[in-house]
Amino acid sequence: MDQQLNIQSQQKDLYISKERGLVPLATSIDIPQTSPGETVELSVTFKAPSYPCTTISYWKSVDKDTQALFPNKEELSCLVNVIAL
């Protein structure tokens, strides 16, 4: 099956995609040693959906054993609005 499926109904055309929202090109990023109160800039590249939508990617800080570092805190998120040109 292709990346997308177009369905026509009596009311309008529906667009259904197999794509799964905002897809990071890396599933993890290293965070440099950071002291309390210090800030650090992080960078992630995403592949956005090919259709107009609003999509979000959530990230959690974990240690080398993938245990959550801040389990009761809100995730870091990246919200993207995809528009048609």
Q: Quick check: is 4 in a domain? A: no
Q: Quick check: is 13 in a domain? A: no
Q: Quick check: is 64 in a domain? A: yes
- The whole-number pLDDT of residue 31 equals 86
Q: Please state whether the predicted TM-score (pTM) of the whole model is above 0.95.
A: no
Q: Quick check: is 71 in a domain? A: yes
pLDDT 10s digits, 1-26:
344 444 445 555 555 555 578 889 98
Q: Quick check: is 75 in a domain? A: yes
How far apart, in whole angstroms, are the C-alpha atoms of residue 49 and residue 6?
15
Q: Quick check: is 70 in a domain? A: yes
pLDDT 10s digits, 19-73:
578 889 988 888 888 899 999 898 999 999 888 989 999 898 888 888 888 889 8
Q: How far is CA 72 from the centre of its chain?
A: 20
Question: Structural domain tally of the chain?
Answer: 1
